[in-house]
Structure 1
Amino acid sequence: MGEEGRGCSSETTRELQKLKQQAMKYYRENDVPRRLEELLNSTFYLQPADVYGHLNICSVVISTHFEVHEGAAPELADVEEAERASAVSTAVHWVNGPIFQELQGLVPTNQAAVDHLLRIFFANKVQEDKERKELEMSLEDSTGPTPLPPIPPPPPPPPTKRKGQKQGRNDAVSEKPIPPAEPVEPVLCGSMAIGAVSLAVAKTSAILGNNPLYINIALLKHNQEQPSTLTVPLLMVTLVSCGKSSPGKLNLMKELICIPHPELTTKQGVEMLMEIQKNIIKIIETQPPPKPETKKGHDGGKRGQQPITGKMSHFGCLTINYDTIDQPLLLLQGICANLGLELGTNLHLAINCAGHELMDYSKGKYEVMVGTYKSAAEMVDLYVDLINKYPSIIAFIDPFRKEDSEQWDSIYNALGSRCYIIAGTASKSISKLLEHGNINIPKSNGLIIRHTNETTMSDLVEITNLADSKKHIIFGSAEGEASDDSLVDLAVGLGVRFIKLGGLSRGERVTKYNRLLTIEEELVQSGTLGFNEEHTFLYFNEEAEKAAEAPEVLEPLEPTFPTEVVKEPHKTQASFA
């Protein structure tokens, strides 16, 4: 999807058509999943004729912002399908039409100027959309009859006192009403064109300068001064999913994430986690399949889903049937013990709680397991107990809905010096964070950012600069992920602390892990691989730093993973499934 450069010969046009046909053939032959076919493929063409005299082509794939809803009702899936198709077609129109015209004559190496124009273009589109909606509302008001105010229902009768019931018992068990869910942050149809074109310009600039993309992003981050060293983000790898979409009773653990020790290389960490994954597969293959069981109140959401242990999730990890919080944690503990590894030493754990998916609004409580409900205050106690029992857990992602600000404060005060409290879905979009200039709501010490929608390269630099020394940044992939591995270059160039790519399976995720391995090799060969002093789990906030000033200092840890696995020569383009 793109436009021809001006002055191209008919021969060049035929070459472009041939390339497009080859790309279409590739996607058909490789059976690209349906959700990936619906991603925007924004190809941006530039022709610096005075320098090269030929056409340079850059291809970008960017994920849509739509979440993956496993087992959704067909009617809901159809509505989302139509919205996604409209968003993609609008984005394609913008890329091939007005955006192409806006960027004519701009030098592709001037990322800041391109992003500035894209921001103005998007702001104008937002204003147009606002005016259109206001006009539609005014027309409806002028043509439609004025509805009569509804008659208020009669007040409910006072509760009858049961025989033997003590006075004040109801008051004792009543819970503080939960804040209602905030409206979903609107996403302008076609907005992904902005992020796609910005990335396409960055990639084009890298090609013209004969640089890898991560170098260009680092130059943008450091005001065109190339840093002497670059660091590779720490891995956050999803190994198991036991969330609400799983057939077991456990809802709390949407992702059980492993973080290899910071002193391990990326290659060592990946190989260690691959070995753990193999053992998980062996164990669940020897277990009998669970009996079919329908979750209470979720009959419609389970349509067509078979309760099979070991189903591969869209995260690229295994979905396992578990009924308690302890079961997946004990599974990993046992496997690590068999491999000579120790949780809390060789690797640490993080849990994506997906708090917004757990709330049962009819009860005003979180359903952590089927039939087991916890108030927001009780959830704080649950997390504290979990850390006490499993100190190898060093991060909770989205432990609450974003609306429960008091509980975010409570868990941060209780655990902020012992583990990371990370806002993912609970955080606002990058554009909103930059607009308000406040990244401290909800209260947390980590933030997950993603390259989606109208987010430009300059926006990513700005948000990481805003968060530096305030929050740990995790660069994350979208749920409906694309096969473009550019986000790995973005994470390295921006110098974020963690990278969260999902599991070690599915091609769209494997290609990113391979890219991370390649970048690490390139930095080692060039002598520019640095070690971030923050890449340690000893410091979480100022209180922990003061505590760490005690005389006792922990010595650097040597990996105890079997040497024949760790020391094995690495092949750059190795693929793992």
Structure 2
Amino acid sequence: MGEEGGGRSCGTTRELQKLKQQAMEYYRENDVPRRLEELLNSTFYLQPADVYGHLANCFSKLAKPPTICKVVGRNVLDGLGLPTLQVEIFCTIQNFPKNICSVVISTHFEVHENALPEQAEAEEVERSEAVSTAVQWVNKTITEELRGIAPSNQAEVDQVLRTFFESKVQEEKERRQLEKGLEDQTIAIPSPPPPPPPARKKGQRQGRTDTLTEKPILPPEPVEPVLSGSMAIGAVSLAVAKTSAMLDNNPLYLNIALLKHPQEQPTKLTIPLLMVSLVSCGKSSPGKLNLMKEVICIPHPGLTAKQGVEMLLEIQKHINKTIEMPPPPKTETKKGHNGNKRSQDSEQWDSIYNALGSRCYIIAGTTSKSISKLLENGNISIPKSSGLIIKHTNQTTMSDLVQITNLLDSKKHIAVFGSTEGESSDDSLVDLAIGLGVRFIKLGGLSRGERVTKYNRLFTIEEELVQKGALGFNEEHTFFSLHEEAEKATMAGGPPELLEPIFPTEVMEGSAKA
């Protein structure tokens, strides 16, 4: 027993000596004694607490950089009281886990007015399942895949998320194929015979009709399917970007700008022009004439964002006084009139663009496909339009946003950064728009807490950039591009009045079938 104990003691002593030797070599290689001597000499007249603080900072630089240790997903409520996803990021800092930040992503679900009870119930179930699936993805596979990755490595994080999402898409595809195979094995039910042709009226000649038939309208394109739970990808990507910014003591918009301009840090950042909804023409809105969806106003480019909003608030007061008056009696529409025929008439859309494309921006809102679809072939295929409305939702990562805005810039298209209907109080959307350098930002009306929070964030960033001398001016806001187009039109025989310089205060947002 004694010999065994003595041998164990000798082994422990040798291990301690070995550790001491390794520590001395580490100190010698990193020149720690000299650093400590310089630090003590520089802090000779400081209090002991200050000396300890400097020592802690010195050793913290030698510590391992923060890495992701846990990602947590939760089911929370958005601005309309509907379920959405919250993501929290925990990092290991000096061997201890620490909660860094959280984000809340907006859902892609639209809010339909006066929907049938069956439709509303089905959408409620679909939304609940989507959020629950996203929470499950985050708390299980995603947190395991991202554990140990540095938050500063956004490209690696987004690649992990993209690979994970592609595997889920493949699983869903195989599941649908299996269900289709099972359906094909069932006995087909014979279809009923077609109805007999309508009888001709007495005296009516064959081949002629009493009334003129309208030109047939192509059916709308099928809605692009959204994989249930896909919001987990976009939320985690945003949360990691925000985590990296907070660990570096940087605002999120600067972190996004560095992702878009990795070679050198931009010295100037611009504030997007605001697209403010002053009147929302919903079914319950007073004075609705079924003519437009909403009235949007853009402040003059020479104003600050805060000055522009203050001016729009005054305009909104006068508008509210006007629409509170009793509306005039509505004229009855003819039977068979389709109020939604404008949204599918591509020929009329082309005519409007050809007539007004050199005088104002025309944005095709409902034809804006998901960012992942637009990036599949690296080619933006859109109808005649000045640009697209892009949104951060579903599986859109920070890398996707950088890539799509770079592609839009190369094609001379306008990028309008917009919010979804299911908004939250998370104001990260504003930082994304400024960091990406988009031309316009569409935040909705000047009401409701989840919107006002974003406007206030915009004011704060504008003040920060002014104080730092980093607020730039986007020359494209002066609409010189359309002025040049007007000159070309005049040279080709167009009307000379197009030569008048104008500002982009006229924006038409509509929808057209691609």
- TM-score, reference length from structure 2: 0.76
Q: Distance in 2 between matches of 1:187 and 1:211?
A: 34
Q: Distance in 2 between matches of 1:282 and 1:151?
A: 58
SS of the residue 2:455 aligns to? helix
**Equivalent residue for 1:66?**
109
Q: Give, in angstroms, the shift of residue 255 of structure 1.
A: 1.0
User: Structure 1 residues 37, 543: CA separation in 2 closer, same or farther (over 3 Å shift)?
Assistant: same
Q: Rg bigger for which structure?
A: 2
Equivalent position to 1:456, from 397, 417, 430? 397
Equivalent position to 2:365, from 406, 424, 427? 424
Q: Give, in angstroms, the shift of residue 503 of structure 1.
A: 0.5
1:89 aligns with 2:119: no
Q: Distance in 2 between matches of 1:236 and 1:73?
A: 32
Q: Distance in 2 between matches of 1:536 and 1:193?
A: 39
Instruction: Give the percent of matched residue pairs that are identical in Structure 1 and Structure 2.
Output: 66
**Equivalent residue for 2:188?**
146
Q: Is the 8 A contact 1:195 1:451 kept in 2?
A: yes
Q: Count residues in correspondence.
A: 430
Moved over 4 A (4+): 165-171, 321-324, 547-557
Aligned positions of 1:54-133 closer than 5 A = 55-133=98-176
Q: Is the 8 A contact 2:278 2:295 kept in 1?
A: yes
Q: Give, in angstroms, the shift of residue 552 of structure 1.
A: 11
SS of the residue 1:256 aligns to? strand
SS of the residue 1:190 aligns to? coil
Q: Distance in 1 between matches of 2:502 and 2:469?
A: 22
- TM-score, reference length from structure 1: 0.68
Q: Give, in angstroms, the shift of residue 44 of structure 1.
A: 2.0
Q: Give, in angstroms, the shift of residue 539 of structure 1.
A: 3.4
Q: Is the 8 A contact 2:85 2:104 kept in 1?
A: yes
User: Structure 1 residues 38, 167: CA separation in 2 closer, same or farther (over 3 Å shift)?
Assistant: closer
1:218 aligns with 2:265: no
1:279 aligns with 2:318: yes
Q: Distance in 1 between matches of 2:167 and 2:99?
A: 30
Q: Distance in 2 between matches of 1:80 and 1:112?
A: 34
Q: Distance in 1 between matches of 2:362 and 2:200?
A: 42
Q: Give, in angstroms, the shift of residue 48 of structure 1.
A: 3.5
Aligned positions of 1:501-520 closer than 5 A = 501-520=443-462
Q: For 1:450, give the aligned amino acid.
A: K
Q: Distance in 1 between matches of 2:113 and 2:264?
A: 45
Q: Distance in 2 between matches of 1:548 and 1:534?
A: 21
1:270 aligns with 2:309: yes
- Specify which structure has the higher proportion of helix: 2
1:45 aligns with 2:81: no
Q: Distance in 1 between matches of 2:156 and 2:309?
A: 39
* Stretch moving more, 41-50 or 89-98: 41-50
User: Structure 1 residues 113, 322: CA separation in 2 closer, same or farther (over 3 Å shift)?
Assistant: farther
Q: Is the 8 A contact 2:78 2:84 kept in 1?
A: no
Q: Is the 8 A contact 1:218 1:227 kept in 2?
A: yes
Q: Is the 8 A contact 1:43 1:59 kept in 2?
A: yes
Q: Is the 8 A contact 1:221 1:494 kept in 2?
A: yes
Q: Give, in angstroms, the shift of residue 158 of structure 1.
A: 6.0
1:411 aligns with 2:411: no
SS of the residue 1:426 aligns to? coil
Aligned positions of 1:261-410 closer than 5 A = 261-285=300-324, 287-288=325-326, 363=336, 366-367=338-339, 400-401=343-344, 404-410=345-351
Q: Which whole-Å deviations, capped at 9, do the CAs of 1:80-121 have from their partners, x for residues lacking one?
A: 111101000000011111011111121110111111111111
Q: Distance in 2 between matches of 1:167 and 1:133?
A: 46
**Equivalent residue for 1:156?**
197
SS of the residue 2:226 aligns to? coil
1:134 aligns with 2:177: yes
Q: For 2:267, give the aligned amino acid.
A: S
Q: Give, in angstroms, the shift of residue 35 of structure 1.
A: 3.4
Q: Is the 8 A contact 1:412 1:421 kept in 2?
A: yes
Q: Give, in angstroms, the shift of residue 37 of structure 1.
A: 4.5
Q: Is the 8 A contact 2:483 2:500 kept in 1?
A: no
Q: For 2:354, give the aligned amino acid.
A: N
Q: Give, in angstroms, the shift of residue 251 of structure 1.
A: 1.9
Q: Distance in 2 between matches of 1:124 and 1:443?
A: 35
Q: Distance in 2 between matches of 1:322 and 1:109?
A: 61
Q: Is the 8 A contact 2:483 2:499 kept in 1?
A: no
SS of the residue 1:101 aligns to? helix
Q: For 2:419, give the aligned amino acid.
A: S
Q: For 1:406, give the aligned amino acid.
A: E
**Equivalent residue for 1:227?**
266
Q: Distance in 2 between matches of 1:70 and 1:231?
A: 37
SS of the residue 2:201 aligns to? coil
Q: Distance in 1 between matches of 2:412 and 2:446?
A: 31
Q: Is the 8 A contact 2:430 2:457 kept in 1?
A: yes
**Equivalent residue for 2:469?**
527
Q: Which whole-Å deviations, capped at 9, do the CAs of 1:505-561 have from their partners, x for residues lacking one?
A: 00000000000001111111111111111102453386236369999997999xxxx
Q: Give, in angstroms, the shift of residue 486 of structure 1.
A: 0.3
The answer for unaligned runs of 5 or more in structure 1 is: 9-15, 291-320, 325-359, 369-374, 377-399, 558-577
Q: Distance in 1 between matches of 2:227 and 2:385?
A: 28
The answer for unaligned runs of 5 or more in structure 2 is: 1-66, 504-514
Q: For 1:367, give the aligned amino acid.
A: G
Aligned positions of 1:543-558 closer than 5 A = 543-544=485-486, 546=488
